[in-house]
C-alpha cells in the first residue's frame, strides 16, 4: 500500500423525502442568491423543478437559473454561468441533475473567484485555490460527482474534453433520493451502470502490491452493481435496486475511498474522452466499447489480478483452466454483461469508423503516456481503438 | 435500506513519514496553544513524544500537556484537561495515542465550550453544540476513533462507562503512520484486532433488508483483518500487515460508512461497558469473551445472516449442513480465531465471577432495552453474561 491523504467533506442526505431538507441545507450555507444549474428540462416534466423552487423560496433565497447544461457539458455554458454569478451576486451553486450538470456546476463554482478563464484549470495552466459553495440534488446514478471534487468539461470548438480535481470542488451537501431516478430511461440507466463499473475498474486494476482491503471494497461494489443493475432495468421503480445502485455510484468514486494508497489507472477514461470529444457520444457508451478491449490489451501486466476479478466478481470456476483462460473468461463475462444490459460493443455500433483514430490517439497522450497498470503510448492507444472498431 | 445522513469531515494522512506533516496541519488550524494529550508514557520510550514536540515547536505553537490518560479514560482526567484548556487559552487539542487517548481528547474538546459538567453529555442530559478543534496521531489500530465523532468515558466513582457521538467531535486531521504501531505489544495488538472485528459485527448483524453493498463492505473488512491480524502478530514490524490492519480499524468505524442505512446493534458493546466499568479490564478482552456468546444467543433472529457470515467471512463449506449447523460453525470459527490469536474466551479467564451479574445487567438496560438484531432486556443480558462465565 502506498501513502495517501484522504479528505471527503461532502455531507450526504440519502433516502425518500430528503429533498424536503433542501431548504434548510441552503439556509445553513447562509446563502442569499442561488444559481440553479440544470440540464435539458426533464426536471420540469417530472415536477422536480417545482419542488426545488418551493424549497428555495421557503429558504428565502433569490434564484438565478443556468438551464440547458449539455450531456458533455461545454465550457461555453460554464462561462455563461460564471458571468451570471458575478452579475447577480450568487453565493451558492445548486446543481439539480446527473454528473454533467454537477460537473458544470463545479466548474462554475471554481471559475467565479478566478480572474482568468476557467478553461485554464482544465489545461492545467492554473491551480484552483477557491470556489463558491456547491450543493447538489442527484437525479442519475452514475458518475459519483455528487461526492467528489472532480469534473469533466468539453471545449467543443477545440474538440477537447478535459478534467480537473480539487478539494474546493467537493459539494457541501448532496441530496440522494433514489425515487428521483425512477424516471431515468433505460438507456441512461445502462450508461450509469457502465460508468460506475468503469470507475471501479480504473481503481481495481493496479500494480500496487498488498492492498487486500481496497480490492475487496472494489469487488463489493462491482458485485452489488451487477446484481442490482439488471433488477433496476427490469423494474425501474423498484426502490431497493435504485437505492443500491445510487449508493454504489457514489461509493465507486467518492474521493478515492476504495482506492486509498493504490496507484489507479484511468487510461480508458482518457481514451474515451477523446472519442466523445469528437463524436459527442455518451461517455458510458464509449467506456462500454473500450473497457473490455483495454482489458484484453493489458491483462498480461498482472494476470493474477484478472484471475481474481474473474473468480471473485464473475464467479468463474477456475477448476481445470489456465491462468490465461480464467483471465480471458472474466473479460468475456464483462463484455457479456454489458451486452446483456444493452450497452454497445463496437465503435461501429455508435457510427464511428477509423478516420479519427490517429488524432484521438495523439490527443490522449498529449500530456504524456497514460495509465499505470500498463503504461500506454500513442501506438498502444491506437491499437486499443483498432480493437474497438 | 433505510434513509440516512452521512458526513465525515476528518482528513486522513496515512503512511510512513506523515508525522513530518504534523506541524503544517497544526499551523493550518491557526493554533497558538495546543493541549497535548497522551497516555502512560510509552510515547516517551519510543521517541514519538520528542518527534511531536519538535513538530509543534517548528509550527511555533505553545504546548500544554495532559499526560496519563487511562486505558478506560476517566472523566476526572477529562475535567482536568478542560480546566487546563481554559486556564491556558488552548485553541487546539492534539491526541497522541490510541482510542482511549483520542476519546479523552474528544471529551476535553467538547467540554471546554460547555458551561456545565462534561459528564452531562455522557448521561444525555445535554447536547453537544460546539468543540475545540482536534487533531490526532494514532499509535494503535483498534477503535476507529481517529475518524469518527464518538468517545467512551468512564466515571470510576459511579462505576459507569458511557459514550457520546457528535459531528463536533470528529478530528480535523488524523495522522496514521503504520510504523508507529510496530512497538505495540502482542496483547494490545490482539485487543485491537478483536475491537475492530467487534465494530464490524455490531453493524453486520442487522435485520434491515436489502443492504448488499453494506454487507459486502463489512465482509471485506473482516476478511482483511483475519488475514492480516495473524501476520502482524507473527511479524510485528511487517509494514503491510500493520498498514492493512490500521486501515481496517479506521474504516470499520469511520462514522458508519460501512453501515449507512442499516440499523446497527451495539448491545454487546453496551454489555461490555458494564463489565469493564466494574472490573477495569481491557474493553476488547470483554468483547472477545462476550461476542461469540451474544451470537449464540441471538442467531435465530435471522439465521441467514449468520449463514452468510459463516460462508463469506470464514469460508465454511455449506454442503451437507443445515442452516443451523452452518450458522453455529461460523460462530465457532469466530471463537476459534479469537482463541488462536490469544484473546480470552471466559470471564473466568479475566478473574471475573458471577457476583456482579445482576448489577451489570440492570445497568446495561438503564436507558431501556438494548440491541436491535434481537432486542435484549435485563434477563437476556443476564443470560449472555451467565453463558460467558
Chain segment A16-34, per-residue pLDDT in tens = 999 999 999 999 999 999 9
The mean per-residue pLDDT over the stretch B213-236 comes to 98
Chain B residues closer than 8 Å to A3 by CB = 14-18
Q: How many CB atoms lie within 10 A of CB B258?
A: 27
Q: Which of residues 225-244 of B touch A (CB under 8 A)?
A: 227-228, 240, 243-244
Chain segment A233-275, per-residue pLDDT in tens = 999 999 999 999 999 999 999 999 999 999 999 999 999 999 9
pLDDT at residue A161 in the model: 87
Nearest beta carbon to residue A5 from set B2, B11, B209:
B11
The mean per-residue pLDDT over the stretch A364-381 comes to 97
Nearest beta carbon to residue A16 from set B3, B212, B260:
B3
Nearest beta carbon to residue B213 from set A11, A16, A224:
A224
The mean per-residue pLDDT over the stretch A364-389 comes to 97
In degrees rounded to 5, what are phi and psi of residue B162?
-130, 165
CA angle A375, A378, A380 (to 5 degrees): 60
| B208 interfaces chain A, CB cutoff of 8 Å | no
Q: Cα–Cα distances in Å, from A178 out to A104, A247, A310, B60, B95? A: 22, 9, 30, 49, 40
Are residues B6 and B265 in contact, defined by beta-carbon separation less than 8 angstroms? no
pLDDT at residue A159 in the model: 85
CA distance B384 to chain A (A): 32
CB contact under 8 A, B244 and A1: yes
Q: Is the ipTM of this complex over 0.95?
A: yes
Q: Which of residues 14-33 of A touch B (CB under 8 A)?
A: 14-18
The three-state secondary structure class of A100 is helix
Chain A residues closer than 8 Å to B243 by CB = 1, 210, 261
d(CA B140, CA B149): 17
How far is Cα of residue A258 from the mean position of the Cα atoms in its chain?
A: 15
In degrees rounded to 5, what are phi and psi of residue A259?
-135, 30
DSSP B380: H
pLDDT at residue B280 in the model: 82
Spatial CB neighbours of B379, under 8 Å, sequence gap ≥ 6: B361
Inter-chain contacts counted by CB atoms under 8 A, chains A and B: 116
Q: Given CA atoms B311, B314, B317, B323 in this order, what sign does their dihedral have?
A: negative
Chain segment B271-328, per-residue pLDDT in tens = 999 999 899 899 999 999 999 999 999 999 999 999 999 999 999 999 999 999 999 9
Cα diameter, chain B: 68
Chain A residues closer than 8 Å to B197 by CB = none
The full set of domains in chain A, from first to last, is 11-180 (3.40.50.1970), 185-387 (1.20.1090.10)
Chain A residues closer than 8 Å to B217 by CB = 217, 220
d(CA A292, CA A336): 10
Answer whether residue A192 shows pLDDT above 90: yes
pLDDT at residue B35 in the model: 98
CB contact under 8 A, B228 and A216: no
DSSP code per residue over B152-198: EEEETTTTEEEEEE-GGGS-SEEEE-GGGGTT--HHHHHHHHHHHHH
Q: Are strands B4-6 and A11-14 parallel, antiparallel or unpaired?
A: antiparallel
pLDDT at residue B367 in the model: 87
CB contact under 8 A, B216 and A228: no
Answer whether residue B168 shows pLDDT above 90: yes
Q: How many CB atoms lie within 10 A of CB A320?
A: 7
Confidence band, pLDDT 50/70/90 cuts, at residue A323: very high
CB contact under 8 A, B227 and A212: yes
Please tell me the number of Cα atoms within 13 Å of A148 on its side-chain side. 24
CB contact under 8 A, B12 and A5: yes
Amino acid at each position: 500500500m502506498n501513502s495517501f491523504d484522504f479528505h471527503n467533506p461532502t455531507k450526504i442526505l440519502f433516502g425518500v423525502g430528503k429533498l424536503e431538507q433542501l431548504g434548510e441545507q441552503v439556509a445553513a450555507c447562509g446563502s442569499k442568491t442561488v444559481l440553479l444549474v440544470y440540464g435539458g428540462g426533464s426536471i420540469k416534466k417530472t415536477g422536480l423543478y417545482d419542488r426545488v423552487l418551493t424549497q428555495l423560496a421557503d429558504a428565502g433565497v433569490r434564484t438565478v437559473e443556468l438551464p440547458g447544461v449539455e450531456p458533455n457539458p461545454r465550457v461555453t455554458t460554464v462561462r455563461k454561468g460564471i458571468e451570471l454569478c458575478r452579475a447577480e451576486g450568487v453565493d451558492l451553486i445548486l446543481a439539480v441533475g446527473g454528473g454533467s450538470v454537477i460537473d458544470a456546476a463545479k466548474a462554475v463554482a471554481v471559475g467565479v473567484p478566478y480572474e482568468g478563464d476557467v478553461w485554464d484549470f482544465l489545461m492545467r495552466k492554473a491551480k484552483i485555490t477557491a470556489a463558491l459553495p456547491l450543493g447538489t440534488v442527484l437525479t442519475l446514478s452514475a458518475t459519483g460527482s455528487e461526492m467528489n471534487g472532480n469534473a469533466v468539461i468539453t471545449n467543443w470548438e477545440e474538440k477537447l474534453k478535459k478534467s480537473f480535481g480539487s478539494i474546493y470542488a467537493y459539494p457541501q451537501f448532496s441530496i440522494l433520493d433514489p425515487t428521483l431516478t425512477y424516471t431515468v430511461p433505460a438507456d441512461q440507466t445502462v450508461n450509469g451502470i457502465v460508468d460506475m463499473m468503469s470507475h471501479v475498474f480504473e481503481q481495481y486494476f493496479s500494480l500496487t502490491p498488498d492492498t487486500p482491503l481496497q480490492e475487496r471494497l472494489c469487488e463489493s461494489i462491482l458485485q452489488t452493481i451487477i446484481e442490482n443493475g439488471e433488477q433496476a432495468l427490469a423494474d425501474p421503480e423498484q426502490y431497493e435496486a435504485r437505492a443500491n445502485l445510487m449508493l454504489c455510484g457514489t461509493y465507486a468514486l467518492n474521493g478515492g475511498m476504495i482506492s486509498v494508497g493504490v496507484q489507479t489507472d484511468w487510461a480508458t477514461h482518457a481514451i474515451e474522452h477523446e472519442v466523445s470529444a469528437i463524436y459527442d457520444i455518451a461517455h458510458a457508451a464509449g467506456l462500454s466499447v473500450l473497457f473490455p478491449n483495454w482489458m484484453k490489451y493489458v491483462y498480461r501486466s498482472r494476470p493474477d489480478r484478472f484471475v481474481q476479478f474473474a473468480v471473485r466478481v464473475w464467479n468463474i470456476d477456475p477448476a481445470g483452466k489456465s491462468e490465461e483462460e480464467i483471465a480471458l473468461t472474466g473479460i468475456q463475462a464483462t463484455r457479456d454483461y454489458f451486452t446483456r444490459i444493452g450497452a454497445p460493443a463496437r465503435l461501429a455500433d455508435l457510427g464511428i469508423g477509423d478516420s479519427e483514430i490517429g488524432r484521438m490517439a495523439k490527443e490522449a497522450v498529449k500530456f504524456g503516456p497514460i495509465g499505470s497498470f500498463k503504461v500506454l503510448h500513442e501506438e498502444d492507444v491506437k491499437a486499443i481503438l483498432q480493437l474497438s472498431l
